[in-house]
Structure 1
Amino acid sequence: MFTNITLRTILKSSSAILRESCGPVSASPRHCCSALLSGPKVSRVSGSFVSPPLVRQYARTSKKKDPGPQSQLSDLPPTMLKKDYAAVPLAQTTDGIVKRLLSLELANHTEKLRLKTEQLISKVQRDENDRTSVEVQVAILTARIRNLQEHMLKHHKDKANKRRMLMAIDRRKKLLKNLRLVRYDTFEKVCEQLGITYTFPPEYYRRATRRWVAKKAFCLKVYQEVQKMKLKKKAAAAAAAAAQTEAKSQ
């Protein structure tokens, strides 16, 4: 019973506040709504006010998307012809529509990647017909690795392509290692032309298991204790020698 009475009094007071803020009852509902939306107005009743309406963020600023790293295919101009039509002289003299169909503007990703691979091969190959040298294999693997790296940035859960990328990286490391041992000048040229940073592999690698870490810590502790005992023995021997010299001098 008490709760019903309190609810009625709250409703009556809120309706009175709305009437006072909107003006007389004869005012149009449009005028009343504009008065409410114009902002908070203090009512005539002391200690009471009309709360401002909720503002929805319709004009929220859009978040700028991160463009990410630049693709290796971004430097290819769209007017360049595809690999299969670059050596055809008739493709250079056709009209604009056919030329657009034969250019990279309407080409897919595979055709662009083939053209990029040919560009990298032309930088390091020994002659025009060279297709099997170590330098050409490194160039092909470099284009494939960079393509898979860009793919993994967008699809980081693609385990199959991640495995292919790691296998290609290991293969390129072996080729560069052998090339560095056989012809160092060619190795430097290939790394410079393709933009590869060669890092030396570690001399020794062992998987750090829990047992191996505990054994290593124990061995280090034993070594430190042995060194302390040796220092104590040396100090005792020096003290004994000093005592003997003093006894002889007396």
Structure 2
Amino acid sequence: MFPARALGTLLTSSSAVLRESGLLSRVSGACSAPCPGIWTRSPAAAASSAASCSRSGPSLIMQPGVRHYARAVRKKPAPESQLSDLPPTMLKMEYAAVPLAQTTDDIVKRLISLELASHSEKLQLKKEQLIAKVQRDEHDRSSVEVKVAILTARIRNYQEHLQKHHKDKANKRRMLMAIDRRKKLLKNLRVVHYEAFEKVCNLLGIAYTFPPEYYRRTTRRWLAKKALCIKVFKEVQKRNAENRLKSKKTQNDPKSGETRTSVQ
């Protein structure tokens, strides 16, 4: 290791040599003056400052990367609600048949219209509209078509809710149960009355898909159980056939009939 004096003399001598050669003055002149715009984000200002520094001397400053502190948030488009086609000036269900409601004040009309109605009241009105499309007559409230219409309005309401609150597991389960119930009703309606099935699907906008075929992964346990069930079934069929044959023989044998009468 060098002592402190020897190190100081070495540094002073090296600086003197650099001054004589003129290299230190160039580097200090290049880096002492701050280059304007070198830390800005615009590429044009950075290019101009880099050019000015290159004229004065060797460029020793590197441009930092651009940092995106505030990125634009991409908002998903809001889902179209099934209640969007209900006009706000439409009266509620309980006031639609009242003749005085058409001639009241504007403030009262706003109170009894859908403008200030709750979501449940609007949903009930949508259910009534769907029921009116598919019901068989004016007093029909219990047919398969009416049940399908009610379930359709309920399912679409659940779908709109889950698009906003996708972690709501309870309502997701209710929606899946309603879908299964509607599938079962549509399947029975398709078998019993195909024309009514097509009419309901067209009026309510339901895309009916056929249920998948039953599929079960084959395992050794399942194969052994199936073979045992088939074997038991065949044995039972064989015993039943033997019993039927014995009963026929006893009915055709006259001696057996005499013995029965004598015993009686």
Q: TM-score, normalised by structure 2?
A: 0.60
Structure 1 distance, partners of 2:130, 2:79, is: 20
Please say if residues 131 and 146 of structure 2, whose CA atoms lie closer than 8 Å, have aligned partners that are also in contact.
yes
Structure 2 distance, partners of 1:197, 1:151, is: 21
1:82 paired with 2:107, answer no
Cα distance, 1:118–1:34 mapped onto 2, change above 3 Å: same
Please say if residues 17 and 50 of structure 1, whose CA atoms lie closer than 8 Å, have aligned partners that are also in contact.
no
Structure 1 distance, partners of 2:156, 2:39, is: 60
1:94 paired with 2:104, answer yes
Deviations 1:94-137, CA, capped at 9 Å, x for gaps: 22222222222222211111111010000011122211111111
Structure 2 distance, partners of 1:88, 1:157, is: 43
Please say if residues 21 and 36 of structure 1, whose CA atoms lie closer than 8 Å, have aligned partners that are also in contact.
no
Structure 2 distance, partners of 1:189, 1:75, is: 22
User: What SS is found at the alignment partner of 1:85?
Assistant: helix
**1:122 corresponds to which of 132, 138, 141:** 132
Cα distance, 1:17–1:78 mapped onto 2, change above 3 Å: farther
1:80 shift after superposition:
1.2
**1:46 corresponds to which of 57, 71, 79:** 57
User: What SS is found at the alignment partner of 1:78?
Assistant: coil
Runs of 4+ in 1 over 4 A off after TM superposition: 13-19, 33-39, 49-58
State the partner residue of 1:30: none
Structure 2 distance, partners of 1:125, 1:62, is: 50
Could you tell which deviates more after superposition, 152-161 or 164-173?
Answer: 152-161
Cα distance, 1:201–1:54 mapped onto 2, change above 3 Å: closer
Cα distance, 1:52–1:98 mapped onto 2, change above 3 Å: farther
1:205 paired with 2:214, answer yes
Could you tell which deviates more after superposition, 33-42 or 149-158?
Answer: 33-42
Structure 1 distance, partners of 2:169, 2:67, is: 43
Deviations 1:178-231, CA, capped at 9 Å, x for gaps: 2222222111111111111222223x413326x36x98xxxxxxxxxxxxxxxx
Cα distance, 1:15–1:92 mapped onto 2, change above 3 Å: farther
1:148 paired with 2:166, answer no
Structure 2 distance, partners of 1:80, 1:14, is: 81
Gaps of 5+ in 1: 6-12, 23-32, 216-250
Please say if residues 95 and 112 of structure 2, whose CA atoms lie closer than 8 Å, have aligned partners that are also in contact.
yes
Question: Among the aligned pairs, what percent are the same residue?
Answer: 65
Matched length: 194
Q: How does 1:124-139 map to 2 (within 5 A)?
A: 124-139=134-149
- The one-letter code of the counterpart of 2:91 is L
Please say if residues 29 and 56 of structure 2, whose CA atoms lie closer than 8 Å, have aligned partners that are also in contact.
no
Gaps of 5+ in 2: 12-25, 224-264
Q: TM-score, normalised by structure 1?
A: 0.63
RMSD (Å) for aligned C-alpha atoms? 3.6
**2:33 corresponds to which of 20, 30, 33:** 20
Please say if residues 38 and 63 of structure 2, whose CA atoms lie closer than 8 Å, have aligned partners that are also in contact.
no
Structure 1 distance, partners of 2:79, 2:112, is: 28
State the partner residue of 1:180: 190
Which structure has the greater CA radius of gyration? 2
Structure 1 distance, partners of 2:146, 2:31, is: 82
Deviations 1:163-183, CA, capped at 9 Å, x for gaps: 111111111112112222222
